[in-house]
């Protein structure tokens, strides 16, 4: 048994196959999952698991060079947006290069989903609580 990190076997396998420029989407419970894109569905009931702990676990495992959020998030769910930004600010302080932060309309965000390497569905029910993590390299 693993001692640390992601314990979910399917999720751990998807993460191990990621390379530079691949994307991981952490999705709320309502984001439509396109056909053909692998999905690790962690959702159990509304709110479980919440998205932020899943984001924390993935940020601890992955090298991220950019993120993409829906431009509606800071308007519709400002405290949730602030919680994500706080995490990215912490990563920026620990890294040599700051994480690029992108925003798209929610419709454009959904249009980008077919290019994702994997989508991780959570039980999050906060409006627009989705993030695309763009993988970087640690060198």
Supply the CATH number for residue 32's domain.
3.40.1650.10
Structure confidence at residue 2 (pLDDT): 84
Residue at 9 is within a domain? no
Q: What is the domain extent for residue 117? A: 14-135
Structure confidence at residue 1 (pLDDT): 79
Backbone angles phi, psi at 55, to 5 degrees: -60, -45
Structure confidence at residue 97 (pLDDT): 87
Q: Domain count of the chain?
A: 1
For residue 69, give the nearest of 99, 95, 93, 98 by alpha carbon. Answer: 99
Residue ranges in the chain whose pLDDT is less than 50? none
Structure confidence at residue 3 (pLDDT): 87
Token pair 């959702």: residue: 43
Structure confidence at residue 57 (pLDDT): 98
| Residues annotated catalytic, as ranges | 20
């Amino acid at each position: 048994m693993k001692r640390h990190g992601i314990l979910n076997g399917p999720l751990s396998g998807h993460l191990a196959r990621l390379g530079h420029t691949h994307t991981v989407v952490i999705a709320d419970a309502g984001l439509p999952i396109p056909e053909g894109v692998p999905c690790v569905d962690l959702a159990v009931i509304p709110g479980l698991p919440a998205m932020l702990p899943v984001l924390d676990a993935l940020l601890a495992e992955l090298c991220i060079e950019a993120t993409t959020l829906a431009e509606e998030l800071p308007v519709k769910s400002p405290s949730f947006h602030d919680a994500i930004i706080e995490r990215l600010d912490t990563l920026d302080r620990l890294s040599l290069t700051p994480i690029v932060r992108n925003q798209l309309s929610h419709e454009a965000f959904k249009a980008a989903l077919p290019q994702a390497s994997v989508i991780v569905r959570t039980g999050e029910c906060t409006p627009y609580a989705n993030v695309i993590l763009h993988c970087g390299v640690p060198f």
